[in-house]
Every structure is written in structure tokens, then in C-alpha cells.
Structure 1
Amino acid sequence: MHFTDIQAILAGQFGEAIQPDAPENLLQPALSIQTERLADVCAFLHRDERLYFDHLACVTALDNGPGLGTMEVIYNLTSIPYGHNLMLKVKLLRNQPGEPLPQVPTVSHIWRTADWHEREAYDLVGIHFEGHPDLRRILLPLDWEGHPLRRDYEVQEVYHGIRVRYEDRNVPTAEG
């Protein structure tokens, strides 16, 4: 099954909630999904016998920066029995410091692997996955401040008495 076939099935089921992503991305075509329809679309992709996307390979998030004012959550799906792949994208408005984090519904009830992937995106980029059963940091300590893969992230000077940031670029290394 080709990308256009999958797109047609989803468009027939979900209408305007599904849009092709930017046409300049020809190497790996993707579909943009309305945030509020994400869990429904993913459940359909998993259970529909024509598609059966049984494997969530990756969930990742990125910050497009204050200039664009958006963030994205990207899902890479695979149907192991049918051998086809699909990329889904959800675009979100970027929050300002002090505002609640951008929210996306969890898909951890559809694919168990989403549990860890969503926690990583929460930890590093600052996306809140609504309905996630255990949304807490996974790579950084629980009391870490901020989300280090955000474009506006400022490194803490000191964490629990340990110097985290050095201003001097001539700090000695193991090599000399």
C-alpha cells in the first residue's frame, strides 16, 4: 500500500482532520493531524484491517523556536505484516515561559511503546501528553528545571552543588 492509498483511507474516515504535510518533504511524506483527533486517528490506524499499524517506532518532538511560535510531535508508525510505514505530525502553538505546556492526547493506550517515547518528549521538549498514565521525567532528575531541547532553554549554573555550566571555554579536558 502506498502513502496516497493510506491518505485516501484516512481522508475518507476523518475528512479535514487529515492534511498532507509540506510538499517539499518528498523523501518521507507525512500527514498532519488535528491535535484533538490524534488519538482517534491512531486507534483507527491500529485497528483497521487494511492498515494495521501494529508498531509505533518512534515519537519525537521538536521546538521550531520563538520566531515560528510552534512545536511539533512526530509519530513514525509501521505495519509489520503489511510492510508499510507512515509519519504523522501534530503542530502545536508554543507556550511562553510561565504558561502551561502545549498538550497532545496520549497514544500510550494504543501502543505501549508510546509510554517511554512520550515521557522523553515531555522531559526534553516540554510537551504534556494528556491522559498519559505516568507522565514524569525519564532522562533527567525529577527536580531538573526546564526542558533542554527547547530553543529558549537556559542551562542552570549549578545543580545540587555541581557546576553545570562553565563560562570559560578553556576548561581543561581529559585530553589535556
Structure 2
Amino acid sequence: MSENNEGALTPGSPQPSVLREVKGMWGVRGSGDTSGFAGLEHTEVMARPASRPYGGWFDEVVDVLIELFQADGIDPHEAIEKVVVENGQLVIFIARQHLLAAAKYLRDDQDLRFEMCLGVSAVHYPNDKGRELHSYFPFFSITHNRMVALEVTCPDEDPHTPSIVSVYPGDDWPEREAWDLMGIIYDDHPGLTRSAMPDDWVGHPQRKDYPLGGIPVEYKGAVIPPPDTRREYN
């Protein structure tokens, strides 16, 4: 079990995943900055793991998930990667192979009863090596008036995450959009096709490694030239 996993299930102060060390404003160098911001230095971290007690009902939700994983013969240390509490929100990082089980627990268990999934947001972190693509699933419990989120990661080289449409049918279009714009393949989705971009579009334009400019776009006959070929007015 990794250090982050220990922080998810037992007291402690595990270290967060460091994404990069940034110097200057926005990481820009050699700009001739005279504002003083060039001297700034800070460390970007990914979802700092929390330690028990998480506070309020957060501990109860995590404990119920642990019990349910154990009841199904799943090692909770393997299923729950870490628990994050930020800005008053509980986010549980789940290993992708156990996402579907966790979604069923959230929906069906009487102590959880998260009847609604509010879609999925996809994020691309190129510096989070081996975990570059993140899927963030927020859930709402009408019964208990609570919100919780599950977060799942997958690598660029294997961008697969289970679909939860079989558990939460309303996640159909959000997963389609996340695949369309970010390139995460939601396995067993009933119809993973483009939702925002044309069917023949190449690539996923919200990824941070997607090229900027140079692609002409046509809107109902009106062509917008790529940025690098537009007329200069100054």
C-alpha cells in the first residue's frame, strides 16, 4: 500500500503528489518582468490527501465504502487511493477498476443514498505522470442532502475508465462530451460518439497537448481562418 493510501484509511500526514515547481508568474521566464513577480516560487501539488478525522459525516461515508468493499471481497486499500477534503468538499480517489462498484454503493446503500450523479468533468494534467487524465464524478444525496465526489485517473497511454451509465443513466451525454473533448474512453458506454465536435474531427481539443491555432473552422458556410493567418490590425 502506498503512502497516499495510508492517508486515505488511517491517520497520518502523507505527502501530496508534486506536479511541478513554478518560478515567476505563470512559470514564464526571460520576459524582462520588472513587477517583482519574477521572484515568486511555489510548488504545484495534486489533491493533498487528508487525515482522519475528516470531519462531520465525511468519516461515515468513507467507513461505509470501506465496509462495502470488504463485504465484496475487495481490498479497500487497493480500491480507495486517497481521500481529499478541500473547500468543504469530500473527494474520494478510486482506482478505476473499482469505479463501477463504488458508484453502485453510493446509489444503493441505505446509509449513502446518492441518488443523483451530476455528470463528469475531465481534466488533463500532463505532469501527473501515469495519471494524466482525471475523471471527476460529483454525486448528490436527496435523502441526506449531501454531496460527494469520486475521482478516477488513467494514463495517456491507456485512456480507459469504466462508464457508470449502467448505474446512473443520466451520465450518458456527460461521458460522451468528456470523451469528445478530452479523449477519455469510457468502457461499455452505450454510444460513445462525438457530442460537441464534428464526427470526423481529429483529436480532443481540450487536452493541454492539443495544438493551438492552425485549424480553419467553418460555421454554416462562414469560414474563420486559423489564428496564425488572420490579418494584423496594429
TM-score w.r.t. the length of structure 2 is 0.64
Matched, 1:55 2:116: yes
8 Å contact kept, 2:89–2:147: no
Give distance in 1, aligned partners of 2:84 and 2:156. 19
Report which stretch shifted further, 154-163 or 127-136: 154-163
Matched, 1:13 2:13: no
Give distance in 2, aligned partners of 1:29 and 1:94. 26
Matched, 1:94 2:94: no
Change (3 A) 1:132 1:171: farther
Give distance in 2, aligned partners of 1:146 and 1:49. 42
8 Å contact kept, 1:157–1:163: no
* Number of positions where the alignment pairs a residue of Structure 1 with one of Structure 2: 165
Pairing partner for 1:131 from 185, 188, 193: 188
Unaligned runs of 5+ in 1: 96-100
Pairing partner for 1:166 from 227, 231, 234: 227
**Match for residue 44 of structure 1?**
105
Change (3 A) 1:82 1:27: closer
Pairing partner for 2:88 from 21, 27, 39: 27
8 Å contact kept, 2:217–2:226: no
Counterpart of 1:40, as a letter, is A
Give distance in 2, aligned partners of 1:50 and 1:110. 18
Pairing partner for 1:73 from 92, 116, 135: 135
Counterpart of 1:90, as a letter, is V
Give the RMSD, CA atoms, in angstroms: 2.2
Identical residues among aligned pairs (%) = 27
Unaligned runs of 5+ in 2: 1-55, 70-75
TM-score w.r.t. the length of structure 1 is 0.84
Matched, 1:106 2:163: yes
Per the TM alignment, residue 91 of structure 1 is displaced from its structure 2 partner at its CA by 1.4
Per the TM alignment, residue 52 of structure 1 is displaced from its structure 2 partner at its CA by 1.1
8 Å contact kept, 1:45–1:51: yes
In the TM superposition, what whole-angstrom CA distance separates every residue of 1:103-126 from its partner, at most 9, and x where no partner exists?
011100111111011001000000
Per the TM alignment, residue 150 of structure 1 is displaced from its structure 2 partner at its CA by 0.4
